[in-house]
Chains A and B, each alone.
Chain A
Amino acid sequence: MPAVQETIDQVRSIDVDQYKYGFETVVEMEKAPKGLSEDVIRFISAKKGEPEWMLQWRLDAYKRWLTMQEPDWARVSYDKIDYNDIYYYAAPKKNQAPKSLDEVDPEILRTYEKLGIPLREQEILAGVEPERRVAVDAVFDSVSVATTFKAELAKAGVIFMPISEAIREYPDLVRQYLGTVVPVTDNFFATLNSAVFTDGSFVYIPPGVRCPMELSTYFRINEKNTGQFERTLIIADKGSYVSYLEGCTAPKRDENQLHAAVVELIALDDAEIKYSTVQNWYPGDAEGRGGIYNFVTKRGDCRGRNSVITWTQVETGSAITWKYPSCILRGDNSRGEFYSIAVSNGMQQVDSGTKMIHLGKNTTSRIISKGIAAGKSENTYRGLVSAHRKATGARNFTNCDSLLIGNECGAHTVPYIESKNATAVFEHEATTSKISEDQMFYCQQRGLSDEEATALIVNGFVKDVLQQLPMEFAVEAQKLISISLEGSVG
């Protein structure tokens, strides 16, 4: 309950301007020439000091991409993107391979402070219980500017570092897994990412290790006309466990900006990965000007027996979200879970969901999706559950609920179910409801304001999913949802 009160306070403290992360950081940037070409890819690869095989991988992806068509099946509409009008690399000038935080531009450190992400370990440590600590990798436009708690994690054998660094330091490990879940040829945006990805996080948890703290990456797009193409690769070796959280924000700008990320998760035998996202990219203004195009490919491979991958996402930002965090249930008895809250307001468009691909025997999956549409937004759940011929005993449970606030928004559910095995049991439930005026009046009659009543009803609606998030982030997410819906009622 205090969380609801905080939510209200938060909502109250913001009047007209609902997006509080819309500020811009002024730092000198180094950029690649605008547009996309082999030269730009060579430039990025050279900047990162990459080995030849990595450059070749990128160039192959680029050649492939040139032959591909942008997908148009999602229920979203936007003006054609000019891929030559984007900067593919932008990095703070003063940030050439900093060895410690003292070498990082103070302006950037201040940016993360403003965002509520302290990067100095001693600041994080102050007043925080050890088990509540979170290690952070901070990615600013195209580069990682800081990674905390690296040393302490290394003691446990955990590798947590920017992927650009991992490519240099652990080339064999990266090469063994990169592109094995989302192949270079996977889809238009993933292939583009493969060609031009700049930074992101790399995580490796050795066999039998339970990662001693939450890991998280905080993505910030700052520079204008710049795309962010991050690449994240997480490997949980046999019998290990890791919980990882991703957050993202961007300044308010009138132009749209492209964010095309790829995230690959690999869980080996008996390993478990929990991946949570609190996505709060700039959503554009009330008229639909500006905002991030969030075209993201996220996929987890339950490669080993008894492995578990859980995706939890709270999506409140972006002008357009196109994203389907999925699980390939390859190992026998493996389990995939997808918990999602997608909030859209204003002119936002969301087309999101998941794919659960059952390949192994006795694999199970669970999908809980809560879509909340307000304003003039369009909110679509799109999901696929499939059972391969050999996936004996596959089970899925899907529950998709949509909540409409107001009369000008839309909620859509597009489930695909394919079963090639007669023993598979797939269940699907879907509901669409509206916050009724009577419910609002009832709450108000008990003394709750418009905002409090909405927050309470919405929090009730998303409760099942919020419970999946790590505690601190659940509170954060709850606030975020209320802020996103501010002004949508009454």
Chain B
Amino acid sequence: MLEIKNLVVQIEDKRILNGLNLTVNNGEVAAIMGPNGSGKSTLSYVIAGKEDYEVLDGEILLDGENVLEMGPDERAVAGVFLAFQYPLEIPGVASMTFLKAALNAHRRARGEGELTTPDFIKRVNATATQLEIPKDMLKRALNVGFSGGEKKRMEILQMALLEPSFCILDETDSGLDIDALRIVSEGVNALRSPDRSFLVITHYQRLLNYIVPDSVHVMSAGRIVKSGGKELAIELEANGYADYRESEAA
């Protein structure tokens, strides 16, 4: 369970989040929608612990523990996973090598031993097949020369492998064609479980046809300005964000 209380964040003296409150329960898929510049990506970075942001007030609790006191790697092994909008390239590091390093870091944190190479490969291959990731892609340097769709699938593969308790999907639908969107969504849906929650950040309702949320929150000017069920997303799609932009002026 993730609880965000009165979160106030600035970057280089510019206030981005203005007392944001949000609770995502175990097993819940919460969608955040909002116009450009409303602070959606900032929220995902702040939860994951990116350095550039200054938290002025508020707290973020993951299962009751304040993650703001943890470094980004500590948050990761505590269960926070961020599927990046723009996954980074790591030249010269095979995807397989990267996955193994990441998985072992998580296993160490849990006090488990490292997986043997055959066990590791078996696990990766099983998930990779579901996500229609070809084996040669796993041998290539991570995200280097990957298409938009390949990058996003690689993000979901990592998510599946690391078994986080709280997943953030930051505009995972951007740059995806309809087939890739389906594959990625199926990957995410397969990971839905009673003890895992999701925060799905998106501009468009389209993604939410595939990953059906339990709750939808509208963000504007660094705050959640309206919450509702999945029907709220459909309403937004029809009417746009105009109603909520006014609250920015307010």
Partner-B contacts on A (CB < 8 A): 1, 4-5, 436-439, 441-450, 452, 456-457, 459-464
**CA–CA, A383 and B88, complex, Å:** 33
Decide: B141 and A1 in contact? CB cutoff 8 A: no
- In the bound complex, what is the Cα–Cα distance between A448 and B106 (angstroms)? 9
Q: Which residue of B lies closest to A441 (CB)?
A: B50
Contact A460 B92 (CB under 8 A): yes
| Contact between B104 and A5, CB atoms less than 8 A apart | yes
In contact, B76 and A447 (Cβ under 8 angstroms) = yes
Contacts between the two chains (Cβ within 8 Å), count: 83
**Complex Cα gap A446–B159 (Å):** 9
A464 — which chain B residues lie within 8 A by C-beta? 92
**Residues from chain A with Cβ under 8 Å of B76 in the complex:** 444-447
| A-B complex: 4 closest residue pairs judged by Cβ atoms | A460-B92, A447-B105, A460-B93, A446-B102
Determine whether the beta carbon of A447 is less than 8 Å from that of B71: no
Q: Which residue of B lies closest to A458 (CB)?
A: B92
Check A442/B87 contact, CB under 8 A, given A1-B100, A1-B101, A447-B102.
yes
Q: How far, in Å, is B213 (CB) from chain A's closest CB? A: 23
Contact B82 A456 (CB under 8 A): no
Measured in the bound complex, the distance between the Cα atoms of B193 and A26 in whole Å is: 65
A438: chain B residues within 8 A (beta carbon): 88
Q: Is B97 an interface residue (CB 8 A)?
A: yes
Q: What CA separation (Å) do A442 and B73 show in the bound complex?
A: 10
**Contact A447:B50 (CB < 8 A) given known A459-B93, A461-B91, A463-B92:** no
Q: Are B51 and A441 in contact (CB under 8 A)?
A: yes
- Can you show 7 pairs from A to B with CB atoms below 8 A apart? A1-B97, A441-B50, A447-B76, A447-B106, A449-B73, A456-B101, A460-B93
A-side contacts of B52, CB under 8 Å: 437
Residues of B within 8 A of A4 (CB): 97, 101
A444 in contact with B100 (CB, 8 Å) = no
Chain A contacts for B84, CB-based, 8 A: 442, 445
| A445, B70: Cα distance in complex, Å | 12
Chain B 68-95 interface 0/1 with A at a Cβ cutoff of 8 Å (1 = within):
0001110111001110100111111100
Chain B contacts of A462 at CB under 8 A?
92
A489 to chain B, nearest CB (A): 12
Least distance between A341 CB and chain B CB atoms (Å): 12
B72 and A456 within 8 A (CB): no
Residue of B nearest to A5 (CB): B104
The minimal Cβ–Cβ distance linking B48 to chain A, given in whole angstroms, is 5
Interface residues of B in 147-165 (CB under 8 A from A): 158, 162
In the complex, chain A residues whose CB is within 8 Å of the CB of B77: 447
Give the residue name and chain of the A residue nearest to B78 (CB): A447
Shortest Cβ distance from B168 into A: residue? A445
B residues near A446, Cβ cutoff 8 Å: 76, 98, 101-102, 105, 158, 162
Residues of chain B within 8 A (CB-CB) of A437 are 51-52
Q: A450 — which chain B residues lie within 8 A by C-beta? A: 73
Q: Which residue of B lies closest to A447 (CB)?
A: B105
Contact flag A459-B48 (CB < 8 Å), given A1-B100, A1-B101, A446-B158: no
- A457: chain B residues at CB < 8 Å are 90, 93
Q: When the two chains form the complex, which single residue of B51, B90, B158, B162 contacts A456, counting CB atoms closer than 8 Å? A: B90
Judge whether B98 and A456 touch: CB under 8 Å.
yes
- Collect the chain B residues with CB atoms within 8 Å of residue A436's CB: 88
Chain A min CB distance to B126 (Å): 19
Q: Enumerate chain B residues within 8 angstroms of A443, measured Cβ to Cβ.
A: 90
Of chain A, the residue at the smallest CB distance from B50 is A441
B-chain residues with CB within 8 Å of residue A456 when the two chains form the complex: 90, 93, 97-98, 101
| Extra A-B contacts (5), CB below 8 Å, given A5-B104, A444-B71, A445-B75 | A1-B97, A445-B81, A447-B76, A456-B101, A460-B90
Q: Which residues of A contact B71 (CB under 8 A)?
A: 444
Given the complex of chains A and B, what is the CA–CA distance between A447 and B225 in angstroms?
33
When distances are taken between beta carbons in the complex, the residues of chain B under 8 Å from A5 are 104, 114
B178 at the interface (CB under 8 A from A): no
Shortest beta-carbon distance from B69 to chain A in Å: 15
With CB as the reference atom, state the residue of chain A lying closest to B81. A445
Q: Of residues B71, B92, B158, which shows the largest number of chain A Cβ atoms within 10 Å of its Cβ?
A: B92
Distance in angstroms from A394 CB to nearest chain B CB is 29
Q: Are the CB atoms of A444 and B72 closer together than 8 Å? A: yes
**Best-buried of A438, A441, A447, A448 by chain B (most CB within 10 Å):** A447
Instruction: Quote the shortest CB–CB distance from B91 to chain A (angstroms).
Output: 6
Known: A444-B76, A447-B106. A460 touches B101 (CB 8 A): no
Which residues on A sit within 8 Å (CB–CB) of B114?
5
Q: Which of A442, A445, A452, A461 contacts B101 (CB 8 A)?
A: A452
Chain A nearest CB, measured from B51 CB (Å): 7
Residues in B with CB closer than 8 Å to A448 are 73, 101-102, 105
Indicate whether A441 sits within 8 Å of B72 (C-beta atoms), given known contacts A446-B102, A446-B158, A447-B77: yes
